[in-house]
Amino acid sequence: YGALTRRIICLDGTNGAINAECCQLFALRDDLQANLFHGGLCTAEAHESLRLTFNDAIAISPALEAQGEFGGGGADGSIALFADIETSYHPNIGLDEIIQLQQPILARHNVSVADFIQFAAAVGLSNCPGAPQLTAFVGRADATQPAPDGLVPEPFHTSDQIFSRLSDASNGAFGVIQTVWLLAAHTVAAANDVDPTVPGSPLDSTPSLFDTQFFIETLIRGTSFPGTGGNQGEVLSAVKGTLRLQSDQSIARDSRTACEWQSFVNNQAKAQTAFKSVFQTLSTLGQNLGHLVNLGKRDNVNFHRYRFRHLRRVLPTSLPGSVQQACAQSPFPSLPTDPGPPTTVAPVEAARPA
């Protein structure tokens, strides 16, 4: 403690870092912002980059290994390195698109594919007002083989299935509570393939804000589908134009998680700390932490564009449904209602080349 840490000046002559490994990340950050995130937007490219981290990292199973089978390598880039194989797995549907958009940027920089996927998401999420500054690491080893199929949760899985899969993947680090924390990611999200007739259907009314609307809106009784009914993994949603995943609905109402879910309502600060914490675990699954360089604040790879802001936390008055109280211990907090006119949330525009 108290040791002097010297900052080095990177070869670009302007940026400083504690770890030389971090120097190249300034250029990577700028390339991502300019050529993937349209100058710094929280649009489909940022959402899909975040989803990619989960679908890459969660594909690891100590339980399979215990049976003598290969269980996947976690956050090892396998989803992009073996894209032909892994994007054909059902729960990874649609991810070929973001992998392709990221590819030319990846090719210009000297980082592992595993590092690239996690770093791109950290930069992308920084474009979403309200988001925490995620901790980035470099030094991950890349996959040498694809993850097996069957390890990424599906929206039609029961909460039991999802809880046990996440616990297995993380050696118990993701309990039922941390699973709720991870789902804060669905505040900046849309579904393209659950109902292909309405691609880009947001999972909450504010898909470009990292706020707590997702936790509020999923607790309201659903009354309509954004498109057609009868899709596997979809249930009725409350806010017109949004899509509700069956898995989000179940976890929001499960007796083991309902109070934790409700605790995020109107608690922006908690959503930030909780997601930051679980993302750190998620983004390093299967990797040896001792080999990774942590890009802390002091490395000054400042990819945090927004400070904490007061974000809209409202119960839209235009809702046809009402709150479904699922937490037995404490009542749903009282929130201001939205005075605005009844709205339909617009779809998130499809990802496209910059």
Cα–Cα distances in Å, from 214 out to 70, 157, 239?
A: 36, 19, 11
153 part of the interface to ligand HEB, by CB under 6 A: yes
**The two three-digit tokens of residue 144, written as one number:** 């040498």
CB of 237 to Ca ion, least distance (A): 14
Residue 192 binds which of Ca ion, ligand HEB, none (CB < 5-8 A, kind-dependent): ligand HEB
Which single residue is written with the structure tokens 């596997």? 232
**The two three-digit tokens of residue 325, written as one number:** 């109280």
Per the CB < 8 A criterion, the answer to whether 236 and 244 are in contact is yes
Stretch that binds Ca ion, among 36-44, 168-176, 201-209, 220-228 (CB under 5 A): 201-209
Chain centre distance of CA 101: 18
Q: What is the DSSP letter of 167?
A: H
Q: Which of residues 166-185 bind ligand HEB (CB under 6 A)?
A: 182-183, 185
Q: Which of residues 216-245 bind ligand HEB (CB under 6 A)?
A: 233, 245
Which letter, b or e, does each residue of 51-70 get, where b requires 16 or more Cβ atoms within 10 Å of its Cβ?
bbbbbbbbbbbeebeeeeee
155 part of the interface to ligand HEB, by CB under 6 A: yes
Q: Which of residues 85-114 bind ligand HEB (CB under 6 A)?
A: 94
Q: Which residues pair with 202 in a beta bridge?
A: 190
Residue 201 or 206: the one with the smaller Cβ distance to Ca ion is: 206
209 part of the interface to ligand HEB, by CB under 6 A: no
Distance CA 257, CA 176 (A): 7
Size of residue set near ligand HEB by CB under 6 A = 28
38 part of the interface to ligand HEB, by CB under 6 A: no
Binding site for ligand HEB (CB under 6 A): 44, 47-48, 50-51, 53-54, 94, 153-155, 162, 182-183, 185-186, 188-194, 233, 245, 247, 282, 348
